[in-house]
Amino acid sequence: MLRLINQKRVLILLAGLLLVSSFLPSRLAFPLAAGPAHTLILFLAPPSDVLKRIGDRVRRPPLDAAHEDAAQVRRDRDKLLQYSRRLEQEVFEARQAIDQLTRMSRNPELAGIKFIPASVTAWPPGGAPALELNRGSRDGLEPGMVVVSDMNLVGTLAQVGPMSATVRLVNTPGSVVGVRIVPPVAGPAGPGVVARATVSPNGQEFWAESVDADKVKPGDLAHLDDKLLPPEARAFVVGRVSRIEPLPQDPLLRRRVVFSPIESLVHLGQVFVIMPVRAQGNPLAPNR
Amino acid sequence: MRWLFFAIFAYLALALDLGLRSLLAIDAGVGPITPSLTLILAVYVGLWAPSRAVAWAFLILGAATDLLSFWPASDPGQPLGNILGPTALAYLVGAYAIIQIRGFVYRESTLAMAVVAFGVGAVIHLVAMLLLTLRGLPFPLGEPIPNWHVADEFIRRFLSLLYTAVAAVPVGMAFNRIYPGAWIDPLKGAHTFRR
């Protein structure tokens, strides 16, 4: 029997066993090799653990660099926070624009009117009644076009360049604008009270003096009604009546209606330029 | 063959392979590549030792490599484990290969050792990959190794072989300073290799 056993045959036998072991399912192969593997690793542990510690120390940065990593983590976090806030602001502005467009789309008087969205790029210092927009003649803008925000009148285009435009705000001191004061009802406004309003010296309010103040009450809306402006702009609101007060020049007999813009005109971010119906289809066609 | 010396050097090679893995590893995109000091030792023994001793030495080193390699189980809930066999058999085939070619190699040359390490290592890795890939065939087992991609594994092992061949130069220089008589009993006539 012992003559049958030699190194070659033992090698062949071991090779056969290893071949079978190579094709055992993991639920059998793993337990089979677990014991020898753990024994071998335990046997190799003393030098290999030392070498692992040396290797980790060489590869990993020291404690001071770990603090730098923490500082870098804080910087990355701050950058992401800023980015997140920018995104939130953009989402907020987008939602506002959606709300505006929704309200505008529901107004039947605006059917057939084309709106060109524009962003406000500059607010003149000192609260001067003008805005700069990022659209110009290349987008079909022309001087005199009405600029609105939501359903509120902002002003008219004073100067138009190729890629920018200046808006003369409706509350420019010295301006006079025709309005029609109506109660705040949904849908098209009724006949209301027609008046000519002037801008107060500080530019914050409109004063309508020659008006039948008995028919007006606080909260009423002053819609644009000026023949010098395009007819499609008449659906838009100039301001809301804030009070009715005695006229300083004739306090006993006359009163003036004071109304102010619904939203601040110098803090706008997104506005719309109304393209007159006759100019649609040809952005470069003359206005009137 | 003086097995005590072999045991000492095998222990050192395996300990260095295990301990310096994290230090010497290079991320190649398909996984970390590391040099194999065990393979370099096997090649050195293969160049100098008698054939029968080469076979046993390769088998032992291959089995040890299997026991130090961990694979994921087919059941995701199970921990990693070892499969004893593929690398051991691959080393056995590598032993046969080195026995065939060592007659044509100038054994004292470090460069030759690096080239032989690359060549024999290629044979070993191809056989190991074949056996591990065959586990995924419907017959006989039908249990592929999770996340086993032959192409990625091929590239990773090839790059590891290159790394090993480069490492074989300094290690081979160190080995060549050891008189082969320390390994081989001169009374056995080791310098007349029998195939």
Say if residue A266's pLDDT is above 70. no
Q: Tokens 């000519």 — which residue?
A: A196
| CA-closest candidate to residue B161, choices B120, B133, B195 | B120
Q: Tokens 């309508």 — which residue?
A: A208
Give the 3-state secondary structure of residue A197: strand
What are chain A's domains? 10-59 (no CATH), 113-279 (2.40.10.340)
Q: How far is CA A53 from the centre of its chain?
A: 53
d(CA B42, CA B120): 10
CB-based contact (8 Å) between A48 and chain B? yes
* CB within 8 Å: A44 and B67: no
CB-based contact (8 Å) between A36 and chain B? yes
Q: What letter represents residue A8's amino acid?
A: K
In chain A, which among 50-109 make CB contacts under 8 A with chain B? 50-52, 54-56, 58-59
Structure confidence at residue A278 as a pLDDT band (50, 70, 90): low
Determine if the peptide bond prior to B140 is cis (ω within 30°): yes
Q: What is the pLDDT of residue A284?
A: 41
d(CA B116, CA B93): 14
Structure confidence at residue A67 as a pLDDT band (50, 70, 90): low
Name A194's bridge partners.
Answer: A180
pLDDT digits over A154-185, tens only?
888 888 888 888 888 888 877 888 888 888 76
d(CA A195, CA A179): 5
d(CA A11, CA B53): 11
Which has more pLDDT, A140 or A191? A140
Tell me the two tokens of residue A249.
């020049």
The region, left, alpha or beta by phi > 0 then psi within -120 to 50, assigned to residue A69 is alpha
Q: What is the pLDDT of residue B77?
A: 66
> Which of the listed ranges A60-64, A160-164, B69-73, B116-120 does the model predict with the highest average pLDDT?
B116-120
Q: What is the pLDDT of residue B64?
A: 94
d(CA B96, CA B99): 5
> Which of the listed ranges A94-98, A232-236, B111-115 does the model predict with the highest average pLDDT?
B111-115
How far does the CA of residue B82 sit from the closest CA of chain A (Å)? 5
Arithmetic mean of pLDDT over chain A: 79
pLDDT digits over B172-182, tens only?
888 877 766 55
Q: B3-73+81-187 domain in CATH 3.30.360.10? A: no
- Asked which of A279-288, B45-54, B148-157, B181-190 is least confident by mean pLDDT, the reply is A279-288
CB atoms < 10 A from the CB of A153, how many? 30
pLDDT digits over A9-30, tens only?
888 899 999 999 998 888 888 8
Share of residues in chain B with pLDDT > 90 (%): 43
Tell me the two tokens of residue B185.
């009993």
- Domains of chain B, by residue range, sit at 3-73+81-187
> Which chain B residues are within 8 Å of A20, Cβ to Cβ?
85
Q: What is the pLDDT of residue B195?
A: 39
How far does the CA of residue B116 sit from the closest CA of chain A (Å)? 24
pTM of the predicted model, to two decimals? 0.52
Share of residues in chain A with pLDDT > 70 (%): 82
* CB within 8 Å: A47 and B12: yes
Name A193's bridge partners.
Answer: A181
How far does the CA of residue B141 sit from the closest CA of chain A (Å)? 6
Mean pLDDT to the nearest integer, B111-134 = 93
Q: How far is CA A104 from the centre of its chain?
A: 18
Mean pLDDT to the nearest integer, A95-115 = 72
Residues sharing a CB contact under 8 Å with residue B126, sequence separation 6 or more, in sequence order: B90
d(CA B153, CA B162): 14
d(CA B70, CA B82): 5
